[in-house]
Amino acid sequence: MSSKINTKAILITFMIGAFFAILNETLLNIALTELMAVFNVDAPTVQWLATGFMLVMGVLMPISALLIQWFTTRQMFIGVMSVFLLGTVIAACAINFPMLLAGRMIQAVGTGLLIPVIMNALLLIYRPEVRGKIMGTFGLVIMFAPAIGPTLSGVIVDLLGWRWLFITVIPFAVFSILFALKYLQNVGEITRPSVDILSIILSSIGIGGIVYGFSSAGEESAGFTSVKIIVIISIAVISLILFVLRQLKLDEPLLDVRVFRYKSYARGVSIFVIVIMAMFASEIVMPMYLQGPLGYSAKAAGLLLLPGALLNGLMSPTMGSLFDKYGPRKLIIPGTLTLVGVMIFFSTINPSTPIWLFVLVYMVLMLSISAIMMPAQTNGLNELPKHLYPHGTAIANTLQPVVGALGVSIFVSIMTQSQAGFIEGQSGELTDGLLNKAMTYGVHHAYWFALALAAVAFLISLFIRKAVAPDFDGEVEKAESES
């Protein structure tokens, strides 16, 4: 690596590509109802536009560690953005639902491989003492894009129609590729490790089965007791166990799980997983409660949650700078303690809770998440030696869709089962008031579980220490990195 590397151009290239790729994770959600009518499909079928996207991302992310070591930075970035562009064009031109779904899945291939590629490159070109600021700046894109997705989607669909959700993205994807062709430089070394086909098969079955099983549990009348769901999840778990055991035996593993021997990484990822579950749960359970007992429309519920989501993204660079200056403990410990307090509040909400207080506490929740996620992840990655960067980033990014699917299924299952139990214990006619009480009861139970998770995160945070990074052997000057 050379000090002549233009870090600003590389970072700008990454942020442009990542913004529009990640935006598509949530851009389509608000249009699902319209797409059901346009293509004459039912809710479980149209939901595959979201579930399938997450499924493909989860399956591909473990393979990213291998691809990063086989291809140059330019080849990977331009390649995955080209795949994403192809999927976007196919979706924009879709004449039936299978064509739209195919385009969506191709988009997911590009998105799933893009984030590990970017994070690995950032670790290579920026020194450990400034990575917080850089990861925070990149985190602004990761958080901001999905936050504005539903709102932006609603405006585009109302004014222009659903196809423009894809058409609008096309010129920006083209610009990102052209910008990368001109400015993006290669970083890191190509080692071309051996390809273990069995590991790829086991990881695909394991990750895909977990995401599909937990995402589909809500569609089954029997839920997690459904024989189909039990079989799928059991096969997935067995595959993951075999995958891990195989990685420990291989000289060149597909995904080196030995990264968990590094304490800072293991603790950081543990906290990251808990926070992801809490965040996904709030983004699913809270809109349902706002539209249920509180009586808001879907768009109004989205707008009420938007300030918190935007705050989360906007504070990411600030939290990164604070991490560089003060280390992880002064952010993560207060952040997890605040998370505990927020979960206590949400476990006591009821229809009489003032909406301004609800919005304010949700903003506090998202602020605490911004103080936890990036510092925990960056501190853990800082401890890893250079050759484990692809594996550390791949594992962290693989866990996100897996834990997201797991968290949503668990929290929704707790809420609905508690709600059903409450109704069964009542006598008389099912009034709106009774249904609202039942949903409130279910939400309380879901957040009791979230409170337990937050408490575990707080306990882990007490053992967090600033990671001692291995000697950074890159030649990028510190002053340039800080710019």
What is 376-427 written as a DSSP string? HHHHHHHTS-GGGHHHHHHHHHHHHHHHHHHHHHHHHHHHHHHHHHHHHT--
Q: Distance (Å, rounded) from C-alpha 370 to C-alpha 275?
A: 10
Please name the residue ranges forming H helices in 93-226.
97-125, 131-159, 164-167, 170-183, 197-216
What's the average model confidence in pLDDT over 235-257? 87
Q: Distance (Å, rounded) from C-alpha 368 to C-alpha 335?
A: 5
Any idea which residue has 């394991």 for tokens?
A: 206
Q: Strand, helix or coil at 349?
A: coil
The per-residue pLDDT for range 92-111, each reduced to its tens digit, is: 998 998 999 999 989 888 88
DSSP state of 40: T
pLDDT-wise least confident of 230-239, 244-253, 416-425: 416-425
What's the average model confidence in pLDDT over 142-155? 70
- H, E, C per residue of 282-344: HHHHHHHHHHCCCCCCHHHHHHHHHHHHHHHHHCHHHHHHHHHHHCCHHHHHHHHHHHHHHHH
The per-residue pLDDT for range 23-45, each reduced to its tens digit, is: 777 677 667 777 888 888 876 67
The per-residue pLDDT for range 45-60, each reduced to its tens digit, is: 777 787 778 778 878 8
* pLDDT at position 289 over 90: no
* pLDDT at position 1 over 60: no
Which residue did the predictor score with more confidence, 324 or 241?
241
Q: What pLDDT was estimated at residue 29?
A: 66
Q: Distance (Å, rounded) from C-alpha 247 to C-alpha 244?
A: 5
Q: What pLDDT was estimated at residue 197?
A: 86
Q: Distance (Å, rounded) from C-alpha 338 to C-alpha 458?
A: 9
Nearest residue to 115 (alpha-carbon basis) of 22, 207, 208: 22
Amino acid sitting at position 329: R
CA geometry: angle at 188 spanning 184 and 191, to 5°? 125
Cα 335 versus chain centre, distance: 19
Non-local (6+) Cβ contacts of 227 within 8 A are none
Tokens of 351: 């229809």
Buried b (16+ CB within 10 A) or exposed e, 34-70: ebbebbebeeeebbbbbbbbbbbbbbbbbbbbbbbbe
Q: Distance (Å, rounded) from C-alpha 124 to C-alpha 55?
A: 29
* pLDDT at position 270 over 80: yes
pLDDT-wise least confident of 128-132, 307-311, 434-438: 128-132
Tokens of 175: 């610009």
Q: What pLDDT was estimated at residue 251?
A: 81
Q: What pLDDT was estimated at residue 4?
A: 63
CA distances to 93, 336, 369, 375, 381 from 465, rounded to whole Å, are 51, 15, 19, 11, 13
pLDDT-wise least confident of 119-123, 144-148, 378-382: 144-148
What's the average model confidence in pLDDT over 329-344? 92
Q: What pLDDT was estimated at residue 204?
A: 86
Any idea which residue has 């539903």 for tokens?
A: 150
Dihedral sign of CA atoms 67, 73, 77, 79 in order: negative
